[in-house]
């Protein structure tokens, strides 16, 4: 069976849909600014979706007074776009939803806790009813009328990549006819303070793969793709998902091994599964967070696989921030369009290569490139590393 990508949906700090995202990437217009929709004492830039919860509810046709987490709202906006784009019939097919998130409904839980901590008789319990990660998935499924297999994956920053992998495997085993896969996450104090405690937040605009990189910028959003059998698709697929792999180097609770063992294994196995040769990889959407450890580890893995002939690569996280559980959902959308439209995306703020690798990413947007195969990396805490490989669709 050939696994086809037939629908795309994305919302991020640079756009409310796929075309807005691509237009911002083309114009090199990032989403970094000070937080507007939640309070924090940290003076750091984030890539925040430029709509309040009330605005998002209006866009989705949801009652203003209905309690819905921001994570669920962002996921709903992106998943709805992907489903519509795919043209699949949810009533005539076995359609599933596999979504991922890191924070779940933490944004609402924080509102509850502010009242509860001062007086245990205060605080609206409905604010914690969506705290669980699965609540956002159930909300999206109910809103879209998805009655097939539904589940949630939370493996830190590789979550959406693993959701895509699981969806592909279920299709291959004839457990579903089509599946919406990806992830959603919203900004909140919990994650911002957590990354600050690790001392890996950059107070300036992040600089992936640059010698001066000092940390990451966080972001929020949602990204989903629709997978189905290429032979039963109603519309021409954007591309095929030909390879995928997950590895766990278990080097450190939050860091990657300096040699890039996990990244090397996940990329190598995804390439092997696809059946393409390493020299046939035309572009790599790197994880590229901008932290000293991540970029060095990923860079070393790239050198181990490709030697001195590393394909064109770039990180989009200086545009959209690190969106955690949503990151590979959004970046899978970008990768699918890289194959179907020949896009290569710019790596913002790059000036000088790291001395250990001397790797230089792409710094300009280009289109019309002959791109046959794209690798897309998503590396999470604990060394949970996932790589996807998207390939050109041939009739």
Structure confidence by residue, pLDDT tens digits, 16-43: 999 999 999 999 999 999 999 988 889 9
Closest alpha carbon to 154 in 173, 175, 174, 133? 133
Name the E strands within the chain. 3-11, 32-33, 46-47, 95-100, 150-153, 178-185, 221-229, 239-248, 283-285, 313-314, 373-379, 384-391
CA atoms within a 13 Å half-sphere pointing along the CA-CB vector of 105: 24
pTM: 0.96
Q: Report all structural domains of the chain as residue ranges with CATH numbers, in order of start.
A: 3-391 (3.40.47.10)
Tens-digit pLDDT profile for residues 280-300: 999 999 999 999 999 999 999
Beta bridge partners of 99: 152
Please tell me the distance from the alpha carbon of residue 328 to that of residue 324, in angstroms, as a whole number: 8
Determine how many CB atoms are found less than 10 A away from the CB of residue 117: 10
Tens-digit pLDDT profile for residues 129-169: 777 889 999 999 999 999 999 999 999 899 999 999 999 99
């Amino acid at each position: 069976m050939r696994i086809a990508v037939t629908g795309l949906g994305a919302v991020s700090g640079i756009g409310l849909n796929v075309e807005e995202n691509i237009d911002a990437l083309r114009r090199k217009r990032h989403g970094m600014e000070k937080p507007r929709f939640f309070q924090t004492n940290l003076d750091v830039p984030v890539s925040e979706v430029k709509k309040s919860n009330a605005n998002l509810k209006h866009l989705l046709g949801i009652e203003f007074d209905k309690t819905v987490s921001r994570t669920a709202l962002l996921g709903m906006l992106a998943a709805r776009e992907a489903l519509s784009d795919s043209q699949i019939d949810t009533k005539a097919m076995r359609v599933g939803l596999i979504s991922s998130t890191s924070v779940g409904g933490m944004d609402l839980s924080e509102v509850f806790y502010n009242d509860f901590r001062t007086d245990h008789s205060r605080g609206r319990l409905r604010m914690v009813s969506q705290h669980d990660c699965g609540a956002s998935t159930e909300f999206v499924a109910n809103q879209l009328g998805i009655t097939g297999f539904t589940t949630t994956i939370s493996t830190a920053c590789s979550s959406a990549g693993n959701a895509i992998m699981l969806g592909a495997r279920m299709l291959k085993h004839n457990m579903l006819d089509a599946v919406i896969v990806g992830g959603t996450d919203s900004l909140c104090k919990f994650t911002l303070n957590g990354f600050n405690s690790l001392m890996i937040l950059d107070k300036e605009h992040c600089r992936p793969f640059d010698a001066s990189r000092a940390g990451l910028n966080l972001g929020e959003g949602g990204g989903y793709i629709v997978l189905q059998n290429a032979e039963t698709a109603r519309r021409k697929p954007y591309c095929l998902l030909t390879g995928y792999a997950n590895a766990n180097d278990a080097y450190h609770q939050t860091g990657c091994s300096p040699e890039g063992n996990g990244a090397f294994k996940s990329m190598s196995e995804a390439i092997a599964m696809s059946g393409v040769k390493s020299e046939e990889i035309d572009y790599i959407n790197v994880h590229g967070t901008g932290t000293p450890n991540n970029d060095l580890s990923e860079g070393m893995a790239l050198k181990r696989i490709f030697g001195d002939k590393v394909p064109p690569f770039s990180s989009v996280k200086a545009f959209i921030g690190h969106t955690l559980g949503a990151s590979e959902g959004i970046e899978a959308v970008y990768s699918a369009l890289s194959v179907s439209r020949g896009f290569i995306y710019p790596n913002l703020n790059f000036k000088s290569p790291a001395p250990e690798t001397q790797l230089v990413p792409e710094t300009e947007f280009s289109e019309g490139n002959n791109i046959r195969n794209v690798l897309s990396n998503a590396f999470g805490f604990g060394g949970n590393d996932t790589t996807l490989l998207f390939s050109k669709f041939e009739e």
